[in-house]
Amino acid sequence: MTKTRSLRWSLPALLLAATANATDMPLNMTKGVTEISQQVYDLHMTIFWICCAIGAVVFGAMFWSILRHRKARGVQPAQFHESTKVEILWTAIPVVILILMAIPATKTLIAMEDTTEADVTVLVTGSQWKWHYKYLNTDVEFYSLLATPKEQINNRFAKGENYLLEVDRPLVIPTGKKVRFLMTSDDVIHSWWVPAFAVKKDANPGFINEAWTRVEEPGIYRGQCAELCGKDHAFMPVVVIAKTPADYEQWLNGEAERIAKAKAEEQELLAMNMSMDELMSVGERTYIAYCAACHQPNGEGLAGIFPALKGSSMALNDMAGHIDIVLNGKAGTSMQAYAKQLSLKEIAAVITYERNAWGNNTGELVQAADVHAVLQGKGE
Amino acid sequence: MSAVVTDHEHDHEHHDHKPSGIKRWLYTTNHKDIGTMYLVFALIMFFIGGAMAMVIRAELFQPGMQFVEPNFFNQMTTVHGLIMVFGAVMPAFTGLANWMIPMMIGAPDMALPRMNNWSFWILPFAFLILLMSLFMPGGGPSFGWTFYAPLSTTYSSDSTALFVFSVHIMGISSIMGAINVIVTIFNLRAPGMTWMKMPLFVWTWLITAFLLIMVMPVLAGVVTMVLTDKYFGTSFFDAAGGGDPVLFQHIFWFFGHPEVYIMILPAFGIVSAIVPTFARKPLFGYASMVYATSSIALLSFLVWAHHMFTTGMPVAGALFFMYCTMLIAVPTGVKVFNWVATMWRGAMTFEVPMMFALAFIVLFTIGGFSGLMLAITPADFQYHDTYFVVAHFHYVLVTGAVFSIIAAAYYWLPKWTGHMYDEKLGQWHFWCSLISVNLLFFPMHFVGLAGMPRRIPDYALQFADFNAFISIGGFLFGASQLIFVWVLVKCARGGEKATAQVWEGAEGLEWQVPSPAPYHTFDTPPVIK
């Protein structure tokens, strides 16, 4: 990676390198891949050039004055200090320019807000710090998490090409179809943003927002959460893959199958007991992916915000409470409900892990069936 | 406007009694002492808030996490914003108001001197509480200076209560300061100082004071709602209890947008004082300046939701707020045109105050342009919550408000200290600041347009080169301000003796009293012809 390496160079070399790389560096808003994003780009450039033109006139007059009307040239100051004619003129001209600008902006805005007659609807739910996608009228739903390894973030591994802009399961949408997004949140306010679609909409807890897009070209489009949503706001990217309708259908069926299969496996698992080693290894993996952001990899949490699991009385003594809090979360805190986010096996493993890692040596195993029992008990 | 002081020889030293040492500053009711304290306090806060910006820029110098944890990074962005807005810019303007308004209108002091003392002395405690909260378990406020619910309620750390109380105290201080300004201007103008003869700095501060009185209670209300939502089980901003998180944003920005003008209107007044002085030509369009300031203030109550276009509002609402926001460009434009017309065919010289004022006009206008771009709702969907916005508001607040405060300091320093500042050092300060501030904030437009969100401690690789530039600009700008401290200290200690008028083209009552201004001025009101 020339970019990361260049950062170790000294300042002048850095400046040179950056200038040389200027062509790779994006300088302007993307034109995007939709009709709307193209319109937005055009509006952006129109208002930009209007500003440049006004700037040229105003700053031009100012610098002319600075050069010519300086005392050092021996000029005598004039004493005029008002002119109704000029003042009316420079009030009226901007008004006309603004009205001309408002017309296309209004048209585009009205088009952007028209979410009717959608072909596909996806419910997008933000939570700290991941996105959940549910395809309405199908069984397909899944979480989408940052896929960049911690080691890259902590500078122990070289950073990959799509550093911080890659996820484990991207959202897939069909090309040429109007896709409607319904946005909401499980906790704080997030904002779902894909620059290439010119879609940025807040996901508000308890409310549903709408947005839409129609992508013509198949491709991978990347974005990020745009609204500060807590500690790991920088680490919840959006990745959208646009596929042709045929490929999309195939993918959707494959996903439905995968999800059905996972559910069936889950049932089989209830009858089986996993070994400590297996639980601990699955548990550690799950813990790092879902729990470590708050409770920290060493289980010590962050004093005052995220409680420690290491040595906590719940992790040492209260197994029923432990299973309950992982399944259902804790209202009024950042602790989320994982019942629908993780499989029974993963929940069993992660609880086992938390009860046996970092010196919490309870020796207790939690099996999928135990978790299932608590879940059923809740349902009755 | 012409004004003559008939008998300032009445300013005898005999009633100049004041306690010495710390007591002088603790007990003082003198507008000049209180003004000095506000200004020094603002400068200290400027460096504390600046140090936090340095932490932010160090972390963002390279992609990856290097120096701080994300949670601490969020505390830095939050407290940096709070300190710069409430601790640096606002107290600096209040300090200037305290020093200059009585002298400009021929008043002996502020109308409510004891309240003046109190409104200053509660401020250090407000910021002590805020800064100490950083050391609590879980850290200080980390939800951004805009403290959107529910991030600041259900999901915030325990320091939130301290944050709320410190904002309450800051609000009380601002409201008292504003009342004092209004009462002083209404009641203590010298005979003949009619409304349309008042210097523009007085006018802009009068309008600012009204804005403060109208919106600071709204801020107090919204922080109180955050407090009760978090600790007392109310649900103003919690949908589960029938509330609405977006309601928070409506209330916050109903305060927040006028707040933006609170931080820029006095700057307009300063620039309107400096440009005519160094152009040796009367201000062009005085009356239209007054009307433009008033219309900006009125419009500021009708545009708050332009900060919220992505929250999902009805099309009609978005259009209303877009049109009103675009309209603000008109009176703001009038001001810039007036300043340029003031320079036109003047006889300009370029001392440090003029340099900062000229930089203000150009760079604030650039911030105005990006503001106009942000008003275009469809484009705002792309700009919103990116570094483009960060670039925009730093152009209006740093090269706008802060540059105007620095310009004012250079302009009035000889009047305050009786000494000329070191012109050469001042020019160094100006050029270092000008170059570094643009290296710092201009590339933010590019990274923002290219898609970098704000308030993130780590970013994708395509933003790396620009962020390195920006950080270097930031460090240089921070270092440049040390020159300012040097100039201030040097000027306070001594230097070439300043005349009463100080600047060849200066007009107004403050230039008719000796330099340094005596402890008490205008015990007997001057007569203004």
Cross-strand bridge partners of residue A306: A302
Q: Is residue A213 part of a domain?
A: yes
Q: Is residue A217 part of a domain?
A: yes
Q: Please state the rounded mean pLDDT for residues B212-220.
A: 97
Element (H, E) at A134: strand A130-135
- Provide the sign of the torsion angle of the four alpha carbons B487, B488, B490, B491, taken in this order: positive
State whether A254 and A127 are in the same domain: yes
Residue of B295, B382, B459 best to disrupt the A interface, most CBs of A under 10 A: B382
The Cα of B62 is separated from the nearest Cα of chain A by a number of Å equal to: 7
With CB atoms and an 8 Å threshold, state whether B382 touches A55: no
Q: Is residue A100 part of a domain?
A: yes
Q: Is residue A6 part of a domain?
A: no
Task: Tally C-beta pairs within 8 A across A and B.
Answer: 323
Nearest to A286 by CA among A326, A358, A342: A342
Please give the C-alpha separations between residue A167 and each of A258, B86, B461, in angstroms, as whole numbers: 18, 40, 16
Q: Is residue A56 part of a domain?
A: yes
- Which residue of B310, B358, B378 is in closest CB contact with A202? B310
Backbone angles phi, psi at B336, to 5 degrees: -65, -45
B144 touches chain A (CB under 8 A): yes
Catalytic residue among B173, B436, B480, B515: B173
Q: Please state the rounded mean pLDDT for residues B508-524.
A: 94
Per mean pLDDT, which range of A10-14, A44-48, B63-67, B410-414 is the poorest? A10-14
Q: Please state the rounded mean pLDDT for residues A36-54.
A: 96
**Residue A351: which CATH number?**
1.10.760.10
State whether A226 and A285 are in the same domain: no
Per mean pLDDT, which range of A81-90, B9-18, B488-497 is the poorest? B9-18
Catalytic residue at B173?
yes
User: Which 194-233 residues of chain B touch chain A by CB within 8 A?
Assistant: none
Residues of chain B in contact with residue A56, where contact means CB-CB under 8 angstroms, are: none
- Residue found under tokens 């806060």: B45
Task: Give the CA angle between residues B508, B510, B514 to the nearest 5°.
Answer: 125
Residues of chain B in contact with residue A26, where contact means CB-CB under 8 angstroms, are: 446, 449-451, 462
With CB atoms and an 8 Å threshold, state whether B158 touches A71: no
Residues of chain B in contact with residue A165, where contact means CB-CB under 8 angstroms, are: 460
Catalytic residue at B159?
no
Catalytic residue at B332?
yes
Q: How many domains does chain A have?
A: 3
| Amino acid B54: pLDDT | 97
- Could you give the percent of chain B with pLDDT greater than 90? 94
Q: Is B371 exposed, middle or buried (0-12, 13-18, 19+ CB in 10 A)?
A: buried
Reduced to 3 states, what is the DSSP secondary structure of residue A66?
Answer: helix
**Residue B322: which CATH number?**
1.20.210.10
Q: How many domains does chain B have?
A: 1
With CB atoms and an 8 Å threshold, state whether B311 touches A59: no
Q: Please state the rounded mean pLDDT for residues A57-78.
A: 94
| Amino acid B10: pLDDT | 47
- How is residue B58 written in tokens? 């160090």
Cross-strand bridge partners of residue A242: A173, A219
State whether A249 and A197 are in the same domain: yes
Residue B520's CB is within 10 A of a number of other CB atoms, namely: 18
B476 touches chain A (CB under 8 A): no
The Cα of A24 is separated from the nearest Cα of chain B by a number of Å equal to: 8
Q: Is residue B313 part of a domain?
A: yes
Q: What is the DSSP string of B142-209?
A: -STTTT-TTTTTTTS-TTHHHHHHHHHHHHHHHHHHHHHHHHHHHH-PPTT--GGGS-HHHHHHHHHH
- Residue found under tokens 């909260």: B133
- Could you give the percent of chain A with pLDDT greater than 70? 93
Burial A113-133 (b: 16+ CB within 10 A, else e): beeeebebbbbbbbbbbbbbb
Task: Give the CA angle between residues B31, B34, B38 to the nearest 5°.
Answer: 130
| Amino acid A362: pLDDT | 87
State whether A314 and A370 are in the same domain: yes
State whether A322 and A366 are in the same domain: yes
CB B58 within 8 A of CB B471: yes
State whether A223 and A320 are in the same domain: no
Q: Is residue B496 part of a domain?
A: yes
Pairing of strands A120-127, A179-185: parallel
Residues of chain A in contact with residue B361, where contact means CB-CB under 8 angstroms, are: 62
State whether A297 and A344 are in the same domain: yes
| Amino acid A304: pLDDT | 79
CB B91 within 8 A of CB B156: no
pLDDT one-digit tens code per residue, A137-146: 998 999 999 9
pLDDT one-digit tens code per residue, A313-330: 888 888 888 998 999 888
B327 touches chain A (CB under 8 A): yes
| Amino acid A16: pLDDT | 46
CB A152 within 8 A of CB A163: yes
Distance CA A110, CA A114 (A): 6
CB A133 within 8 A of CB A171: yes
- How is residue B315 written in tokens? 């099309």
State whether A251 and A282 are in the same domain: no
Minimal-distance CA residue of chain A relative to B150: A188
For residues A320, A324, A330, A335, the Cα torsion angle rounded to the nearest 10 degrees is 110
Q: Is residue A195 part of a domain?
A: yes
Q: Is residue A70 part of a domain?
A: no
Catalytic residue among B11, B259, B380, B510: B259
With CB atoms and an 8 Å threshold, state whether A304 touches B288: no
Last residue of a domain, one of A231, A260, A289: A260
Distance CA B64, CA A3 (A): 13
Whether the bond between B516 and the residue before it is cis, its omega within 30 degrees of 0, is yes
Q: What is the overall mean pLDDT for chain B?
A: 94
Q: Is residue A30 part of a domain?
A: no
Please give the C-alpha separations between residue B4 and each of B105, B111, B193, B512, in angstroms, as whole numbers: 12, 23, 11, 8
With CB atoms and an 8 Å threshold, state whether A235 touches B458: yes
Count of H-run helices and E-run strands, chain B? 18, 0
A191 touches chain B (CB under 8 A): yes
- Residue found under tokens 């160079």: A9
Please give the single-letter amino acid code of residue B272: S
State whether A253 and A306 are in the same domain: no
Catalytic residue among B197, B250, B454, B490: B454
Q: Is residue B383 part of a domain?
A: yes
The Cα of B115 is separated from the nearest Cα of chain A by a number of Å equal to: 38
Residue B106: left (phi > 0), alpha (psi -120 to 50), or beta? left
CB B22 within 8 A of CB B528: no
Catalytic residue among B272, B293, B370, B433: B272
pLDDT greater than 90 at residue B447:
yes
| Amino acid A4: pLDDT | 44
Long-range residue pairs from B228-233, CB within 8 A, at least 24 positions apart, any chain = B229/B149, B229/B150, B229/B153, B229/B154, B230/B152, B230/B153, B230/B154, B230/B156, B230/B160, B230/B161, B231/B161
Q: Is residue B528 part of a domain?
A: no
Domain ranges, residue B197: 8-511
| Amino acid A379: pLDDT | 46
A16 touches chain B (CB under 8 A): no
Residues of chain B in contact with residue A195, where contact means CB-CB under 8 angstroms, are: 382, 451
Nearest to B482 by CA among B440, B443, B413, B436: B436
| Amino acid A378: pLDDT | 58
| Amino acid B360: pLDDT | 98
With CB atoms and an 8 Å threshold, state whether A69 touches B462: no
Please give the C-alpha separations between residue A98 and each of A59, A102, A106, B374, in angstroms, as whole numbers: 20, 6, 12, 13
- How is residue A58 written in tokens? 């105003």
Distance CA A154, CA A201 (A): 30
State whether A140 and A243 are in the same domain: yes
Give percent helix, percent strand, percent coil of chain B, each to the nearest 5: 70, 0, 30
Domain ranges, residue A41: 35-64+82-112
Last residue of a domain, one of A241, A260, A279: A260
CB within 8 Å of B451: residues ≥ 6 apart: A26, A30, A195, A223, A224, B386
The Cα of A305 is separated from the nearest Cα of chain B by a number of Å equal to: 5
B334 touches chain A (CB under 8 A): yes
pLDDT one-digit tens code per residue, A134-180: 999 998 999 999 999 989 999 999 999 999 999 999 999 999 999 99
**Residue A214: which CATH number?**
2.60.40.420
Minimal-distance CA residue of chain B relative to A231: B71
Per mean pLDDT, which range of A22-31, B59-68, B268-277 is the poorest? A22-31
pLDDT greater than 60 at residue A1:
no
Give Cα B499 distance to the centre of its chain. Answer: 29
| Amino acid A182: pLDDT | 97
- Which residue of A3, A79, A195 is in closest CB contact with B465? A3
| Amino acid B234: pLDDT | 95
With CB atoms and an 8 Å threshold, state whether B379 touches A235: no
| Amino acid B504: pLDDT | 93
Q: What is the overall mean pLDDT for chain A?
A: 89
| Amino acid B60: pLDDT | 97
A47 touches chain B (CB under 8 A): yes
- How is residue A351 written in tokens? 């609880």
Q: Please state the rounded mean pLDDT for residues B336-361.
A: 96
Cross-strand bridge partners of residue A121: A180
Q: Is residue B525 part of a domain?
A: no
Nearest to B167 by CA among B152, B180, B155: B152
State whether A138 and A252 are in the same domain: yes
Per mean pLDDT, which range of A287-291, B194-198, B451-455, B516-520 is the poorest? A287-291
Q: Is residue B516 part of a domain?
A: no
User: Which 233-292 residues of chain A touch chain B by CB within 8 A?
Assistant: 233-235
State whether A283 and A317 are in the same domain: yes
With CB atoms and an 8 Å threshold, state whether B376 touches A43: yes
Residue of A63, A67, A81, A335 best to disrupt the B interface, most CBs of B under 10 A: A81
